[in-house]
Structures are given as C-alpha cells and as structure tokens.
Amino acid sequence: MADEDKTEDLPEAGRKRGKWPLMLGLGLALVGGGAGFYAATSGLLPFFRVPQQQANEAGAGATVDFGDVVFVPVEPLVISLSQGGVTRHLRFRAELEVDHGQERDVTRLMPRIVDVLNTYLRALSLADIEERAALLRLRAQMLRRVQIVAGAGRINDLLVMEFVLN
C-alpha cells in the first residue's frame, strides 16, 4: 500500500511543477515581444525605421523636387467602338509630362502623337476596355508608343485625364 501511495503522488507533483516553467516562459515571451515591438516602432532600432519616421527625420516641411517638368495637353479623342451591333464611344483626354526644354519639340510632334493614340485606341475591342485592369495596361501601351514616336528622353509620362466609355 505504501508503494501505491508513492506512485500516485509523483505524477501529481510532476504536473504542478511542469506548469510553472511553462507559465513563466509564456510571460517572458509576451514581455519580450512587447518590448521588441515598442523598440521597432518607436525608432529605437536604427536598422528598422518606419518610412514616415525617415521622412520626418529628413526634414519636417521639406519639399520634394519633382524636377522642372511641363505638362503638354493632348487633343481630346472620341473613338467609336462597335461589337456585335452595339456602338459605344470612348472619350479620351491626356497630358504628357515632359522636361522643361522639350515641350516645344513635343508640341511640334503632336499630330504624330494623336495619330498613334487614335490608331491604337481604334484597334481595341470593348472587352479590352471593360476589363478591371484595362486602364493600367492601356496607359502603359500608349506611353510606350508615344515615347517611340517622340524619340528617346522627350516624354517622361502619360497622364490620363479622362477615360469615359458611353
């Protein structure tokens, strides 16, 4: 009987002693995680800085230099698109971002630019325009075509000002 009492007491004592290290480890892990989070988000760690903090440290109220750019408007285009007997119209208006010294050259090339945009947009189907990501893809395609027509380094970007399908 004495042996049975000893074997029953051992597992109980072992279980109680096993909970304390687990609870202590869990508590230390939570405290360490919280301290690490605070150190990272408050900027105490130099290798882990939030971009907003870096911008604030660079200079409060500092302005960003976008360079000396000029926006050249492209004539508005109205494109008729037909598919299955249904005719719809696309109204497109854009502006070209060019460096300050290039606006005169780009303005002289405007008939070619309008021609390449008109040709590209007329070749599209309604399904091409109605996709969710269509504007991003079309903008990239139009920018590439305009850059080829205008020559290297003249046009930085194409900004879509109006893209309405009626």
> What pLDDT score does 138 carry?
94
37 and 108 inside one domain: no
103 and 150 inside one domain: yes
**Would you say residue 19 lies in a domain?**
yes
Last residue of a domain, one of 58, 84, 101: 58
The residue-averaged pLDDT of 112-126 equals: 94
Rounded CA-CA distance 145/150 in Å is: 9
Residue 149 domain boundaries: 69-165
Chain-centroid distance of CA 115 in Å reads 31
Residue of higher predicted confidence among 113 and 67: 113
> What pLDDT score does 20 carry?
84
pLDDT bucket at 50, cuts 50 / 70 / 90: low
Side by side, which strands form the sheet with 155-165?
69-83, 86-99, 155-165
> What pLDDT score does 86 carry?
85
52 and 20 inside one domain: yes
pLDDT at 16 over 60: no
Out of 27-31, 79-83, 92-96, 106-110, which region has the weakest mean confidence (pLDDT)?
79-83
- What is the value of pTM for the model shown? 0.60
40 and 86 inside one domain: no
